[in-house]
Amino acid sequence: MTMTTKYEIFQTKLGKYLKADKAGKQAILDMVCDLTKLHRKAAIRKFRRLQLKSSLAPEARGRPCYYTPDVTLALKDIWSAASELCGELIHPIIADYVKVLKRDGCWQYGEETTTKLLAMSEVTVKRRVTKFMAGKSPSHGLSATKPGALKEIIPIFTGPWKDKPPGYGQLDTVVHCGSSLIGSMAFTVNWTDVATLWGGRRAQWNKGQHATQESLSAIKDRLPFAMLGAHPDTGSEFINWYLKGWCDEQAVEMTRSRPYHKDDNAYVEQKNGHIVRRFLGYSRLDNKTVIPLMNDLYETLDVYLNHFVPSRKCLEKVRMAVSTKNTMTKRPLPTHEYWLVEALRKLSK
């Protein structure tokens, strides 16, 4: 018998033991000692400790809970209505969602809850939204990207992207294969503009060069600005003479990323999971009749995401100077901290 089981036995019998008379306590002690194999005096002392613990339980330490469960529930309702955005993106639009839900009569929380929700900081929102998202992310999908044989015809471009105007976008395909890449299945062509983060998606059957060119052409026609550049990875659906010729005819500059360097296509790579996988999941789609339905979804989804869902983009990075002196005590840093600072300094160079 484990200590946990013994504790549960004493905890269960504590109430009856405290209310019982002398004969009743003797009967309870006989039964408990027979089950736990404890000495009678040990059992009496155990009941005494539990009695003192329950009567003299210390008050909970720390600050009282300000954001009560009703505030967390209100935040979860907004998170669900906003297509389950991350904490950084949902924090600036909480007030807008509360206003719209109140207008439509869908807000069922009181003024105190609403006031606390609007006063919630970004860090607190992020902490709670992370718990909402826990357990919702399935296993990662498979990759169908392989370097094309004609990749040498497309120049490599690694940046900088900050000088590119709207119209230069990154390309990628997302395969809807489930757990196997065998056979035919649906693919999604994903295009993300680097300057504005405007996105376009198109579904197609397999990843042939003709189907990929038609998908890219459909995305181009739906853009609010001219497509000036296309930057795919080294997949054979992009690196071929057919798509290269189409880009030359349409005056679209074509560049590519380095093989096995997903960071070169970071803007579109994050949209694969953030948008395509979120709304379509990881299931296998191997029926041609689903392609028109996927494109109908993407047409509505692109309008919603491009006009109503906020995005974040890194504008600049600032390098901070590292000092080897302890500014608080004016003493040299300890040995382990000194070597850490030296390593960071070498990496910064």
CA nearest neighbour of 106 among 74, 84, 71, 67 = 74
pLDDT at 58: 58
CA nearest neighbour of 286 among 183, 203, 201 = 183
More confident residue, 338 or 129: 129
pLDDT at 134: 75
pLDDT at 199: 93
Q: Where does the pLDDT of residue 7 fall: very low under 50, low under 70, confident under 90, or very high at 90 and above?
A: confident
pLDDT at 63 over 80: no
More confident residue, 316 or 329: 316
More confident residue, 110 or 326: 110
More confident residue, 243 or 149: 243
pLDDT at 137: 55
Residues 247, 128: Cα–Cα separation, whole Å: 45
CA nearest neighbour of 179 among 43, 61, 283 = 283
pTM over 0.85: no
More confident residue, 144 or 328: 144
Query: Could you tell me which residues are beta bridge partners of residue 192?
Result: 170, 199
pLDDT at 127 over 70: yes
Q: Where does the pLDDT of residue 152 fall: very low under 50, low under 70, confident under 90, or very high at 90 and above?
A: confident
The one-letter code for the residue type at 8 is E
- The highest-level CATH class for domain 151-308 is alpha beta
Cα–Cα–Cα angle for 248, 251, 255, rounded to 5 degrees: 65
Helices (H), the chain: 3-19, 22-36, 40-55, 69-81, 87-90, 94-103, 111-119, 122-133, 209-222, 241-249, 266-271, 278-280, 290-308, 335-348
Which of 38-47, 105-114, 142-151, 278-287 has the lowest average pLDDT? Answer: 142-151
Q: What is the pLDDT of residues 196-247, one digit of tens each?
A: 999 999 999 998 989 999 999 999 999 999 999 999 988 888 888 888 899 9
CA nearest neighbour of 168 among 274, 251, 260 = 251
Residue 285 burial (C-beta neighbours within 10 Å; 0-12, 13-18, 19+): buried
Backbone CA torsion sign across 209, 261, 173, 198: negative
Residues 144-156 have a mean pLDDT of 68
Q: What is the pLDDT of residues 262-302, one digit of tens each?
A: 888 889 988 888 899 889 989 999 999 999 999 999 999 99
pLDDT at 327 over 70: no
More confident residue, 186 or 181: 186
pLDDT at 124: 92
Q: Where does the pLDDT of residue 340 fall: very low under 50, low under 70, confident under 90, or very high at 90 and above?
A: low
Q: What is the mean pLDDT of the chain?
A: 84
